[in-house]
Amino acid sequence: MKIDVLTIFPEFFREVFNFGIVRRARSANIVEITVYDIRSFTTDKHRMTDDRPFGGGDGMVMKCEPIFNAVEKIVGTTERENYPQGTRVVLLSPQGRVFKQVVARKFAEDAKHIVLICGRYEGVDERVNEVLVTDEISIGDYVLSGGEAAAIVLTDAITRLLPNALGSETSAENDSFTNNLLDCPHYTRPPEFRGMRVPEILLNGNHAEIERWRAEKALEKTKKVRKDLLEGVEK
């Protein structure tokens, strides 16, 4: 998979993709990540990427011209219907649909090339959304200073679901949210620490009992912390 990030702060990403699973996936050529400075696609001498909003109001709006130029250079066209198969151009903004595990998995399974546009200020000129964008995504019902942090979240969540990105083929299947449940509790050595013991069932070697315990604890945790995930599941 190829992931391209469009931002006015490329230095934000200088080291963040050089750790853990994402780094290993890059080294194994499972994913290719490139960060582009939107300013390099401007055409004026001041390299302006934002301007005052028409109609007045607070703040600045990101200009459409450099973003169109960037997508045309990277994807090869600004005509959404002519994007190469498997291409997704994603605008990261608070107005988008909420990013969830099922969305990450859909991207990992269907997309070959993802372009992430990091919004800033009061937002991005709506013509970008109307013409270029295939998906508008939010990572939650709150407002960030820009889409850079969201780009990191999407890149990490999608990359770890790519084939061979994780050390175990079943690791992602047991993640929280995969089956509308949070993950079960986990323990490791030592078996006793400051008077706190690991549940005996995890030490008895009976894998069938362990799996039942894990399923029960996952359901228990979900009911306690995120009962909303179970709506429609228990009916």
What are the residue numbers of the active site?
Answer: 94, 122, 160, 175
Which residues have CB under 8 Å from 209's CB, separation 6+? Answer: 201
Other beta carbons less than 10 A from residue 213's beta carbon: 16
Task: Give CA–CA dist 39/8, Å, rounded.
Answer: 6
Q: Which residue has the tokens 């291409």?
A: 87
Q: Judge whether 67 and 107 are in contact, CB under 8 Å.
A: no
Residues for the chain: how many in total? 235
Other beta carbons less than 10 A from residue 165's beta carbon: 21
Other beta carbons less than 10 A from residue 108's beta carbon: 20
Which residues have CB under 8 Å from 11's CB, separation 6+? Answer: none
Strands 87-98 and 113-118, bridge-based pairing: parallel
Q: Judge whether 87 and 113 are in contact, CB under 8 Å.
A: yes
* Radius of gyration for the chain, computed over Cα atoms and rounded to the nearest angstrom: 22
